Amino acid sequence: MNIVGITTSTADRKRRAGQRLIIGLAGPSLTEEERSLIREVRPGGFILFARNVEDPAQVRELNRELLSLLPADLPPIRCVDQEGGRVQRVKAPATVWPPMRWVGNVGDLVYTEAVGRALGTEVRALGFDLDFAPDADVDSNPKNPIIGDRAFSADPRRAAEHSAAFVRGMQAVGCIACAKHFPGHGDTATDSHLELPTVEKDPPDIEQIELPPFVSTIAAGVATIMTAHVVYPGYDAEYPATMSSRILDGLLRKKLGFNGVVISDDLEMKAVRGRWPLHEQLTRASSATVDVFLACKEIGLQIEAFESLVRLQEEDKRQEDLAIDAVKRWHGLRLRYLAGADTMPSLSVLGAPAHELLARRARAEGRG
């Protein structure tokens, strides 16, 4: 994939394709294969997992290196899943946060906002720009194997209020928040990492139970929303939300009025991986107004996704227009949130006494 000597039009398509990918890495340091891929693809962002973490200083340095590998006018948005509870990639000496269910159980929105501020501050100190939090699902199915206490509540109103408060706190300190998993993963009985779940509810029920936290986080100004690899036959019996224009363009964009960045859940998850050709997944998801795609580990999939996103623009003018819109939204997020190194909090904020007090309160008042 040598871009030397190609036309400006093709170069632009490749630039846009790269900007629409958030890619993951294999370990705590970059391999030469990964460096080569980064130089070629110029991804719009990176995501780190526990496999990439040794200690806070190493994480911060890896994030600095990732920033250095890309052009200054297209800095990557560096991402992490740092929710608290079961989903926390960087642990001690960072504050070890309890599940957000416990935070919601405290029943104090000022407190929840403070948790969002503290968690966002630590995420920024580690060199990240975007945290895939909060989980804005409603834990409406006790048999759900993947959401549970990641959600603020089983009550839609409480989940909505606390999700919005958390978003306000996190984004107030310059950390991009992401409400997930639209339009709701809380009523599934299966895990989309392993299979394709279905939520057998009519739209009025979904709108009363699953949607309130997304409505509230949109009102709070949430910058990004992640899609669910879940089928909702009441809206679309054939495709999961990630690939559904009825759900994303029709419901999220038009009905709920969200004009921020829509990010897919991981393309490697078994809910979608291999069920449809990747090119079809990307075509349908792009048509549904997904802006950016997560490809969290496999280099082969990352390359295939990049090449497919280039080809989409070559095959269809509408797809090229959609890609232009997607990259504009992503770049707008970059302009709004990415701060210089001089504004990055010090690593000394990790596990700060005030943050530990916040975590302790949830353990004392919200457990159970």
The residues facing 225 across adjacent strands are: 179, 262
Question: Can you tell me the distance from the alpha carbon of 73 to that of 59, in angstroms, rounded to the nearest whole number?
Answer: 23
Give catalytic status of residue 193 as yes or no: yes
Catalytic residue among 131, 236, 265, 291: 265
Residue type at position 212: P
CA distance 274 to 292: 20
Distance CA 151, CA 158 (A): 10
The CA distance from 356 to 113, in Å, is 15
Do residues 287 and 38 make contact, with C-beta atoms less than 8 angstroms apart?
no
d(CA 52, CA 42) in angstroms, rounded, equals: 20
Structure tokens at 133: 């939090």
Beta bridge partner(s), residue 232? 236
Contact 120, 127 (CB under 8 A): no
In the residue annotation, 355 being an active-site residue is answered as no
- 3-state SS assignment for residue 356: helix
**Most distant pair of Cα atoms in the chain: their distance:** 63
Chain centroid to CA 149: 19
Q: Are 185 and 228 in contact (CB under 8 A)?
A: yes
Contact (Cβ atoms closer than 8 angstroms) between residue 183 and residue 221: no
Q: Which residue in 200, 216, 203 sits closest to 137, CA to CA?
A: 216
Catalytic residue among 108, 155, 191, 193: 193
Catalytic annotation, residues:
193, 265
